[in-house]
Amino acid sequence: MSTVTTSPILDILDQLGIREENNGVSTGAETLSGAGGAISSFSPVDGSSIATVRIAGRKEYDAVVERAQKAFISWRKWPAPARGEVVRQVGEALRAHKADLGKLVSYEMGKSYQEGLGEVQEMIDICDFAVGLSRQLHGLTMHSERPDHRMYEQWHPIGLVGIITAFNFPVAVWSWNSMLAWVCGDVCIWKPSEKTPLCSIACQQITQRVFEQNQVPEGVSCVVNGGREVGEWIAADTRIPMVSATGSTRMGKAVGAAVGARLGRSLLELGGNNAIIISDRADLKMALLASVFGAVGTAGQRCTSTRRLIVHKDVYDELKDSLVNAYKQLRIGDPLDEANHVGPLIDRDAVELYLEALRAVDEQGGKWLVEGGVLEGEGYASGCYVKPAIAEVDPGMAIVQQETFAPILYLMPYEGDLEQAIAIQNGVAQGLSSSIMTADLHEAEHFLSCAGSDCGIANVNIGTSGAEIGGAFGGEKETGGGRESGSDAWKAYMRRQTNTINYGRSLPLAQGIKFDI
């Protein structure tokens, strides 16, 4: 890795152990040369080139997989509580580096410093969850129909887990997968977004120091930085029984097809087109805060960002006026300045997609309440800062059916009962996060019923973003159907085995079959 910036972030890189000799291909203590070329990390905050990172060629990739295979042979034999103790120490190391890693996330990705800190806290929380889980990897005991027999289920590590992550949560999503996989006895190969390579190197450095202190086998944690081809190698690799991929629906379909073709297992966290239903029985102050943060947090680049507001006609005008007024107060600028609400988009390609969406709204007949555009002038030199926008739309418009990874909020009324609002909400291809704002118990419970939201996440009186790690995270339909993080998501990283034990002195067969010789 070569550092080519004079930015103050250099001090942070040094604190996190990212130095010029680091490359983006690592099996832990061993850092490979990275013969596949290089990628540059640019900050959307000020346009600076932070560093150039060497990436993997096929030879380095195969070396990583081979090292991971060897590590798995011994790591799977560690008692699960012992693996959990290592993860506990990783959590402590993250606590010690929370400010530095949070600042790197903010600077390399562009989210606010508060959100960067929140992302690292999410990593710490999942470490805590995984530590407790390491003593609860339980199976079931069942009664056999045969005399003097017993049956039970147990769970074993699945092996190598490929983790493909997106730029918008450059560290948290990796931790959701890796911490659970590690306590389950798996080893992980991480392909991070090529837009945020330094965050992955920082996580590897923090983790590796803990691993070395505990004599964890080389290869339990691997990082392979690179472009699309690395993800394709992972998806097609029969040595990797499970692949967890986070990104666009288009990317997820390609990964799912490649993994499925070899009968592997995939965990997909894909697009979201999330809506908040605002009832005439809602607390409008709460609804306003949930809507604004959901729409502009991370500059609209969360998979759980609020894209659509479905508002009862009786409170529509009041909420609309409040939204417009709130947007006038948003401060857009350097995300490391905690006075600002909104930072930049990840890069200029994202800006172009934002502008395409604005043009589509115009072409399809939307009406702007708050107009968008690219910000220019002092403080906006990177060209990645845009104005959060609000448009009144028809729910059937093509652009409203799509996920636009930008701060564009679509506002639409409903005039009938809650069934109409739910139909509008469910009438898109994605099914990640949803919310209703209401003080009516009947509405709330109906929204959560089987006849209500069809999303993997359904909230009452909170927004669509900001999920906690205690619940399984994921969605339905074109969101992919995967579940990460809390609850029983650990089962995705293990293989289930049914055991039947005969402790008698005869061999009765199941279903009463007679077979005498």
* Pairing status of strand 408-414 against strand 389-392: parallel
Is the four-CA dihedral 96, 102, 103, 107 of positive or negative sign?
positive
Q: Which of 60, 269, 443, 478 is catalytic?
A: 269
Whether 199 sits among the annotated catalytic residues: the reply is no
Q: Which two tokens stand for residue 200?
A: 């992955």
Nearest to 406 by CA among 334, 365, 349, 459: 349
Residue 358 to residue 386: CA distance in whole angstroms? 11
H and E: helices and strands count for the chain = 14, 23
- Find where tokens 């005439």 sit: 280
The backbone region for 300, taken as left when phi is positive above 0, alpha when psi lies in -120 to 50, beta otherwise, is left
Tell me which H or E stretch contains 68.
helix 58-75
Q: Which of 127, 184, 199, 303 is catalytic?
A: 303
Which three-class secondary structure string do you get for 285-351? Answer: HHHHHHHHHHHHHHHHCCCCCEEEEEEEHHHHHHHHHHHHHHHHCCCECCCCCCCCCECCCCCHHHH
Residue 291 to residue 276: CA distance in whole angstroms? 7
Tell me which H or E stretch contains 367.
strand 367-370
Helix axes 98-109, 113-133, angle to 10 degrees: 130
Residue 218 to residue 332: CA distance in whole angstroms? 44
Whether 468 sits among the annotated catalytic residues: the reply is no
Is the four-CA dihedral 135, 137, 143, 149 of positive or negative sign?
negative
Residues annotated catalytic, as ranges: 269, 303
